[in-house]
Amino acid sequence: MMSKAAFTSGSLRYRLAVTLIGVVAVLTLLFYFVLRAYAAQIALQSQDNILNASVTAILDAAIIRDGVVKIDIPYAAFSMLNTETDDRVFYAIYQNSSLLSGYADLPFPQRESRMSNTYKSGVYLGVAIRQVTASRVLVGGDIRTRITATVAQTQDSLSGILQRIARNAALYGVGFFSLAVVLAIWATSSTIDPLKRLAESVARRGPQDLSPIVKPVPSEMTPLVSSLNSLMTRLDKSFSQSEEFIAEAAHRVRTPLATVRSHAEVTLQRVDKEENRQALRSMIRAIDESSRAAGQLLDHAMITFRANQLEYQAIDLVELARECVQRLTPMGDMRDVELRLETDTTVLVSGDAILIQNAVRNLMDNALKYSPVESVIIVKVRSEPSPHISIIDQGAGFPSDEMHALVARFTRGRNASGTIGSGLGLTIAQDVALAHDGTLNIGNTTEGGACVTFSF
Amino acid sequence: MRYILFLILALLLAPAFALDWEDQQLFEGNNGTQTLRVISNTDTAIFAPVIQSFLQSHPQLNIEYNVASSANVYSSFRSTPDAYDLVVSSAMDLQLKLVNDGFAQPIEDIAHPAWAKWRRSLFGFTLEPASIVINKAAFKGLPTPGSRQEMIEVLRENPEAFTGRIGTYDIRQSGLGYLFATQDARVSETYWRLTEIMGSLNTQLYCCSGDMIDELAKGTIAISYNVLGSYASARSDVADKIEVILPSDFHNTMMRTVLIAQTTQKTSAATLFLRHLISSRWSKPDTENVSLPPLTTQQDNSQRSIIALDPGLMVFLDAMKRKTFIDEWESAIIQQ
C-alpha cells in the first residue's frame, strides 16, 4: 500500500511553543520594568532617609543664645551624605524667611504642611538634585522663631545604583527567559508526545490489523481515536464481507463446475470425431482451471479469516509433508514427475495445521505445474537453523526480475502461460507464513529450478 | 569680544589681587607655546622642582605660577574662575567646596585611590602631616614633647621660657590653619586645653608656615604647633637648628590637592600637569631638592589619620559654624 503525504497547515508543536515563549517574553519584560520601578522607589527612599537624618541633625543643633539663633552643624550632618560616587551636597538654613547660612540661591520649596517634611526632586546648578526640607520652632525667653533647613544632594550614586539594578534585572530576566524557553520546549514536546505515539502505533500496524486502538489517550484525542476506531471497524466489516462473498461465490461455482466436468468426461468417451474430442478436451482444461482458481480463492478467503484467529497446535512438519506428497503423487505420476521426500525424523512446530497444510499443498502444486516431464521435485523438511520446508523443482525457475511481485494476489510469472493457475498459490503461502511470524523465501537453484522455502 | 572684556576685567581687578600675591613667576618650557595658569598656596621654592621636572618632559608648555594664601586662592579663583587653569591648595575643605559648587572639571580615566580623590575632579598628590616644630637650642635642658599632652606639660611647667615664644597659625587668615584646627577639635578635647595654655602664654599668630619656620630658626619662638613638617624639612639651611615632631597621640595628615577649572580651554594640557602631579614622578630620588612628601599607594597609611575627602569638610565652612568656632578660638588664644 502506498502512503500518501498529508497536507500540512502549520505545526501544533511550533504554535504551542511560540505561544508559550511569547507569553514568557511578555512576562519577563513586565518583570524587568516592575523590578526597575520598584528598585528606583527603594533607592530614592533610602536617599530621602539619609537627607532626612541630615536635616534633623542640623535642626537639632539649633539653639537660641542671648536672643540669637546659633546652629552648630554637627560634622556628621554632611559626612553622612558621603557616597561612593561623591555626590555634591547643598544646603540652606532659614530663620523665618531670612537666610541664616548656606546656599542662598538653592530653591526653597514652598512647604505645604508645617508638620511634615517635604521631599522634592529638582534642578540646581544644572544638575538633578533630591531635596529634603524640614522646620522646627525654637522658643527662647520671649522669642519664638521658626528655623527651616533644607539639604539637597545630587543623584549620581542613585543613578549608579539604578543602573546596576537594571543591569542585574536584565541579567536575571535573560536567565529566567532562557529557562522558561527550555521549559516551554519540554512542555510542548510532552504535550505532543501522545499524538506522536498514536501516529507511530498506527503506522506500525500490519496491513491486516484493523482492530480498534485500546491504549488510553488524553481526553482531547478521544474524538480522533474513536472516529479512527469506527472507521477501522467499518473497514474490517467491509473486508470480511467481501471475503465471505468471494468464498460463497467460489463455493457456488465449484460444485456446478464438477458436475459439468464429469458430464464432459463422459461425453468425451462417447465422441469419436477428433475435432469434437479436441473441443471437449479444451473444455475440460478450462473447467479444471476455473475449478482450481475457485479452490484457491476459497483457500485464500479461509486463510484471511483464520489468520486473525490462529488455532495453535503441535504439528510434525515431516508428517504433514508426507501426507501432502502422498496426496499429490498420483498427479505427479500422470506426468512422470517424482516427488522425493528428504526429511529429519521429526520437525515439531506450533501452528495452525489446516493453514500450513494448505500452504505446503499450494507450493507443491505450483512445483508440479512448472516441472518438466520426467523430473524430480525434492521436498526437504529440516529443523536447522529454524524449522522449514523447502520445495525444489527442476523447472525454469522464477524470472529474477519479478521475484518479489509474484507473491502479490493474481500475479503469475511470464513463463506461466500454458499452465493452469490463478496466481494465488504464492500469495496463500506468503500469508500463512506471515500469520505464523515466519517467512517465505523464493529463489532459484544453481541448475535453474525454482526453490521455495517456507520457514518458521 | 569676550576676551577683551576679560582683559578689561582682569586689569581692573589686577591691582586688588596684586596686593595679595605672595609670588608670581613664569616657568618657560624650551619651546613653550601654551601657558598654563596655576593658582596655588604652595611656596614657589618648594614647588619649582615639580614644575621644572614637568617642563623637561613637556617643553611645549609654560607655567604661570601664582602663589597666595589658601583663603585668597579660594576667593580669588571663585571670583574669577576664568583666570586660572589649575588650582593647587593644601586647604582640602576649600578645594572640596570649589568642586561641590561646580568650579572643577571631572577628569576621566585617572587611576588614583578612591580615598585620594573626590568626584573625579579633586586629586590629592601629597601626604603632609601637621607637626610640632621646636628650636633645639631653646629646649636645651627641657624634655622634648612627643605628644600634645607632653607639650601642655612642658608649657605649663616653664611659662617664663615660653611666654611670647609659641607660634601657630592665625586660623582667621590661613585656610590650612583653620582646617588643621577644626580637624584637631574633632578628634580630641586636648586641642582646646592646648589652645587655652597657648593663649595664656601670649602665642604669636602667623599667616604661613614659612614665616613660622624662619622665626623658629632665628630663635624668636621656641616651639610652633600645627606647622607643616614638609616645609620645615625642606629648609636645609635651618635643619640643624630645628626639630620636627609628629605628635604620637595623633597627627592629622593633609593632602595637597589639585583641580582643573571648569572653564579652562586647555583641558588636555592641564590634564598632563595633573597626571604629572599625581604620578609622583617628580619625587624621584635624584631630584633631591624636592621636599614635598608624595602620595604613594605603596606606603602604609593605616597609622595616619588622613583627613577624609567627604562632604563633612564643608561643615566648618558654614558661615555660622565658622563664626562659632573662631569666636571660641579667639577667646582661647587671645587673652590680653
Q: Which residue of B has its CA nearest to A92?
A: B318
The structural domains of chain A, with segments of one domain joined by +, span 10-202, 205-309, 310-456
Alpha-carbon distance of B156 to B145, in angstroms, equals: 12
Q: For position B106, which CATH number holds? A: 3.40.190.10
Helix, strand, or coil (residue B26): strand
The pLDDT > 90 percentage for chain A reads: 25
pLDDT at B19 over 70: no
In tens, the pLDDT along A29-68 reads 998 999 889 988 999 999 999 999 999 999 999 999 888 8
Closest CA to B131 of B236, B247, B293, B302: B247
| Contact call for B311 and A71, based on CB within 8 A | no
Alpha-carbon distance of B46 to B38, in angstroms, equals: 15
Give the DSSP letter of residue A374.
S
B170 and B70, same structural domain? Answer: no
Alpha-carbon distance of B170 to B94, in angstroms, equals: 17
B169 and B289, same structural domain? Answer: no
Contact A449, A438 (CB under 8 A): no
| Residue A373 neighbours by CB distance under 10 Å | 8
pLDDT of the residue at B3: 52
**Residue B211 sits at the chain A interface (C-beta within 8 Å):** no
pLDDT of the residue at A294: 78
Q: Is residue B268 part of a domain?
A: yes
B219 and B259, same structural domain? Answer: no
B213 and B321, same structural domain? Answer: yes
Mean pLDDT across chain A, nearest whole number? 84
In tens, the pLDDT along A416-445 reads 555 555 567 788 888 888 878 888 888 888
Alpha-carbon distance of B228 to B210, in angstroms, equals: 9
pLDDT of the residue at B8: 52
Q: Is residue B140 part of a domain?
A: yes
Closest CA to A430 of A318, A299, A311, A312: A299
Question: Which residue in B315, B317, B325, B326 has the most chain A C-beta atoms within 10 A of its own C-beta, making it the best mutation to test that interface?
Answer: B315
State whether CATH 3.30.565.10 applies to domain A310-456: yes
**Residue B102 sits at the chain A interface (C-beta within 8 Å):** yes
B120 and B261, same structural domain? Answer: yes
In tens, the pLDDT along B161-208 reads 999 999 999 999 889 999 999 999 998 899 999 999 999 999 999 988
Alpha-carbon distance of A35 to B40, in angstroms, equals: 49
Q: Is residue B308 part of a domain?
A: no
| Spatial CB neighbours of B101, under 8 Å, sequence gap ≥ 6 | A88, A125, B78
B244 and B157, same structural domain? Answer: yes
Alpha-carbon distance of A361 to A425, in angstroms, equals: 9
In tens, the pLDDT along A206-232 reads 666 778 888 888 888 889 889 988 998
Q: Which set of grid coordinates corresponds to residue B88?
A: 593647587
The model's confidence at residue A113, banded by pLDDT at 50, 70 and 90, is low
Select from A70, A78, A90 the Cβ nearest to the Cβ of B315: A78
Q: Is residue B138 part of a domain?
A: yes
| Contact call for A79 and B101, based on CB within 8 A | no
Q: Is residue B312 part of a domain?
A: no
pLDDT of the residue at B238: 84
**Residue A63 sits at the chain B interface (C-beta within 8 Å):** no
Select from A70, A74, A85 the Cβ nearest to the Cβ of B324: A70
Count up the domains in chain B and report the number.
2
Give the residue-averaged pLDDT of A389-405.
Answer: 78
Select from A86, A102, A127 the Cβ nearest to the Cβ of B318: A102
Domain boundaries, position B16: 2-127+255-299
Alpha-carbon distance of B181 to B47, in angstroms, equals: 25
In tens, the pLDDT along A293-350 reads 777 777 777 777 767 666 778 888 888 888 888 888 887 887 788 888 888 778 888 8
Could you report the predicted ipTM of this complex, rounded to two decimals?
Answer: 0.86
Sort strands A376-382 and A338-343 into parallel, antiparallel or unpaired: parallel
Residue B193 one-letter amino acid: R
Which of A12-16, A273-277, A394-398 is predicted with the least confidence, judged by mean pLDDT?
Answer: A394-398
pLDDT at B328 over 60: yes
Q: Is residue B197 part of a domain?
A: yes
| Contact call for A78 and B311, based on CB within 8 A | yes
pLDDT of the residue at B4: 53
Alpha-carbon distance of A100 to A71, in angstroms, equals: 9
Select from A71, A72, A125 the Cβ nearest to the Cβ of B102: A125
